[in-house]
Structure 1
Amino acid sequence: MLAHAACATYRIGEETALARATAGLGTEMPATALRAVRVGGILLGHGLVFGPVALGARLLRRRWAGGGERLSALLVALGPSYIKIGQLLSTRRDLLPERVCTALGRLGDSTPPPPRAALQEAVRSAYRGREWPYAEFDWTPVAAGSIATVHRARTRDGRQVAVKVRRPGIERIMRQDFRLTSLAVGAVAWLPQLRSMPVGVMHAQVGGAILHQLDLQAEGAALEQLRANLAEFDWIRIPAALPELSCDDVLVMEYLDGLVRLAPQALSKDARDIAARQVMSVVYEMLFVDGLVHCDLHPGNLYINPDGSLVILDAGFVIQLPDKVRASFADFFINLAMGNGPLCAHIMIESAASIAPGCDLDGFRADLTALVKEAAGARSGEFNLAKFAGRLFLLQRTYGLFPVPEFAFPLLSLLVVEGIVQGLNPELDFQAEAIPVLRRRNMPRASVG
């Protein structure tokens, strides 16, 4: 079982947090090998059954209507680590076909739940030695995510609560998957084009953050931190954690009823516009002001309250950015929005984790300045962060200049919500929405030409 974190969130660079999460991986090689065989068998099986169909559709230039459902089924069969990837991809309707995103979007809170008997054993075992706190407990989940199921219950004192239960056996599977990806990353790191990249450090930090989601008590503390940080905004609701009812494998929160999924088809045009701006405002507040960043705001975690307020239900994948990283990212973003390529290049060079010997810094400055100028000149709604990030990464790889791995988390947060926001309001100016937050807090350095 994961030890409880000393802090509410996974802090990047904390080796002790990652060590707790991955303790014992080296002694689990036989089980990990079996997991590798299972993963390979699942991939092979799906490939043999559906590969010819997909290939035939491609050769005939026909759309394979069942592609999204089959991909979703494959990720479910592979397990929670892969479901998480599908959840993140589901937000990228600008990069993937609509039918694929729709199918993957159902992974947010409707993955197959564990057997009822396994859930009952897990919950009752978690409360063993304590008084059973519930007068009623609905064993049929109201939501089933990749890591936990959520159940409605009523406490002995009459409160309606949401009970989040960690899936039985999930820690073992995710630890094995982490070991497999560690081996894969170690192998690809030897490729010539990747040797100068800190891929091992990036995998350790991102993987450690994902494994940290298994600690439900840390998630409860993160919920309370988010509630405190965002308390000044009366249009956002985050359920309160109830630590007196929670235990190792169970997180109990207040139950919010009547929620509407944050989906374009469920909202009017005015409501979509308001929701899009609210999402961007809260994310920018996290990124540029508090440094406590939610990296998993997919549709299964974002809802609309009956009173119109935005609701964040989950705080498992929440990262505390170091102040230096938060400040550098804010500086880069505001100068990107203002089209100041030279200062963007200066920030990237100044904060780089590694610079290859003989790196052509002047060439990097010139090419990044041109990229920033192009992005800043895009009309409202035309800026695409995923494509910009891809070109930025290509520049870094070409010149051998790599940012600190911590930059991956704010980018991940923005990439996830960008897909949601574009679905709500395709014309929203992604960069301009950040300016009021940055200016109000007087955080970034003054731009220079």
Structure 2
Amino acid sequence: MAGTSIGRLGRLAGLAARFGRIGVIVSAHAVVLAPGVVGGWLRRRPTARTGDQLVRLLTALGPSYIKIGQLLSTRRDLLPEQICVSLGRLTDSTPPPRRARIEKALRHAYRGREWPFAEFDWTAVASGSIATVHRAVTVDGRAVAVKVRRPGIDGVMRRDFRLMGVMMRMLGLLPPLRSMPFDVMLDQVGGAVLRQLDFAAERDSLVALRANLASLPWARVPEPLPDLCGDGVLVMEYVDGLLRFAPEELDAAARGRAARRALAAVYEMLFVDGLVHCDLHPGNMYVDRDGSLVILDAGFVITLPKAVRDSFADFFINMSMGNGPFCAEIVIDSAASVAPDCDLDGFRAGLTELVDGSVGARSGEFNLARFAGRLFDLQRRFGLYPAPEFAFPLLSLLVMEGMVQGFDPDLDFQAEAIPVLRRRNTPRAAAL
């Protein structure tokens, strides 16, 4: 009993220390950041310096906040261009740990085993919020990528999510938000993010993604090498000669092709396989010399239950067909909770109007973030609260939409889903 109490006190002390550190970091950066934010708002155009300061703030706060910045970097339709450019540096340029710390992590991973590399480049080819990636050559001459988890990151991220849990529970005390399932949402979203620390799970996800996307000849996922992996170390084949998944890296024809292929891959995950990559930012997805998409990371991958996958697919296709009333029924059926005084007729009318306005919209016209925001606003206004599981497919689509916007403004975001939806079971409304 005494040991349990001591352990609890230790965890509380750790949380208090982390909370204090976050407060100090935010206060220190706010002095510099606030004038740029206010000035940028007044001028309607933030400066490059403001973006750089925001990157420094998120980097100082640590991996949980860097992840938020990575996702926001793709939202050029919602955030100023300069801010997105600055945040984009968070995808693979987080300062790496000292070499001594990386060496220590590798010694721990391969303790009791022979060192498996004939060559090892200690300068990281990529440095993210959770791991660094190094090029190496195995003793049998194979070029590999070695992903090494940052030492100590596990405890930091878990404390951050516990603190977020405290804040969400406080929000849940506010009368308008008491019916929102904040705890469940945090458990699911936080659990998915924290699973990025589990490299054994990522190895299995890479294997599953390779199998699921094998039907797409232009989709490539590196092969993991299980015998060379260790605790906090993931080894996979090295893919050379890659271009960043960015409009400026490709010509006009290649941009349109890459955008369509990226959407097709996400739709395959969402509507057919159910194994969904929720973090396809430019640091995780590239284009090779042949124009194939290459997905290098599988840390933030979740499995959608079939019921959720079917409901989401039914909603998406009926939205594309302009069937607002049926979309409303899907949302009502899948809601986590319905208020006693819920105005279902008002919700049906509001969602039908929203769907009518989105039919046939192109990528440059259809804004998923705006659509999702209005959908959630309708749910709140009329007393419906969405199932937390819907956060995952929406997250994957929101990240993808943020990138596709800059590739091909004529791309019909909804029509591109139809060929994939045809290969799944017939939706609950009309046959395709």
Task: Give me the TM-score of the superposition, normalised by structure 1.
Answer: 0.92
Answer yes or no: is 1:228 the counterpart of 2:211: yes
Answer yes or no: is 1:123 the counterpart of 2:106: yes
Equivalent in 53, 76, 81 of residue 64 of structure 2: 81
Q: How does 1:32-431 map to 2 (within 5 A)?
A: 32-59=15-42, 63-376=46-359, 378=361, 381-431=364-414
Deviation at 1:438, TM superposition (A): 0.6
Q: What do residues 383-415 of structure 1 show as CA deviations (whole Å, max 9, x unaligned)?
A: 100000000000111111112110000000000
d(CA) in 2 for partners of 1:61, 1:250? 45
d(CA) in 1 for partners of 2:429, 2:38? 54
d(CA) in 2 for partners of 1:75, 1:125? 29
Match of 1:4 in 2: none
Are 2:32 and 2:53, in contact at CA under 8 Å, matched by a contact in 1? no
Q: What do residues 240-285 of structure 1 show as CA deviations (whole Å, max 9, x unaligned)?
A: 0111000111000000000110110010000000000000000000
Letter matched to residue 186 of structure 1:
R
d(CA) in 2 for partners of 1:157, 1:383? 51
Deviation at 1:51, TM superposition (A): 1.8
Distance 1:56 1:350, change over 3 A: closer
d(CA) in 2 for partners of 1:425, 1:341? 27
Letter matched to residue 268 of structure 2:
E
Range with greater deviation from structure 2 (380-389 or 24-33): 24-33
Letter matched to residue 214 of structure 1:
L
Deviation at 1:444, TM superposition (A): 1.6
d(CA) in 2 for partners of 1:64, 1:251? 39
Are 1:330 and 1:443, in contact at CA under 8 Å, matched by a contact in 2? no
Match of 1:5 in 2: none
Tell me the secondary structure at the aligned position of residue 446 of structure 1: coil
Letter matched to residue 244 of structure 2:
R
Deviation at 1:442, TM superposition (A): 3.5
Pairs aligned (count): 425
Tell me the secondary structure at the aligned position of residue 66 of structure 1: helix
Are 1:237 and 1:309, in contact at CA under 8 Å, matched by a contact in 2? yes
Say which structure, 1 or 2, has more relative contact order (CA 8 Å, 6+ apart): 1
d(CA) in 2 for partners of 1:69, 1:392? 33
Letter matched to residue 84 of structure 1:
K
Q: What do residues 124-174 of structure 1 show as CA deviations (whole Å, max 9, x unaligned)?
A: 121111111011111110000110000000111111100000000000100
Moved over 6 A (4+): none
Letter matched to residue 282 of structure 1:
A
d(CA) in 1 for partners of 2:148, 2:410? 39
Tell me the secondary structure at the aligned position of residue 28 of structure 1: helix
Task: Give me the TM-score of the superposition, normalised by structure 2.
Answer: 0.96
Are 1:291 and 1:322, in contact at CA under 8 Å, matched by a contact in 2? yes
Identity of aligned residues (%): 66
d(CA) in 2 for partners of 1:180, 1:105? 26
Q: What's the RMSD between the two structures over aligned residues?
A: 1.5
Are 1:340 and 1:447, in contact at CA under 8 Å, matched by a contact in 2? no
d(CA) in 2 for partners of 1:351, 1:88? 26
Are 2:336 and 2:385, in contact at CA under 8 Å, matched by a contact in 1? yes
Where structure 1 has 5 or more consecutive residues not aligned to the other structure, the ranges are 1-23
Are 2:51 and 2:86, in contact at CA under 8 Å, matched by a contact in 1? yes
Tell me the secondary structure at the aligned position of residue 290 of structure 2: coil
d(CA) in 1 for partners of 2:43, 2:184? 43
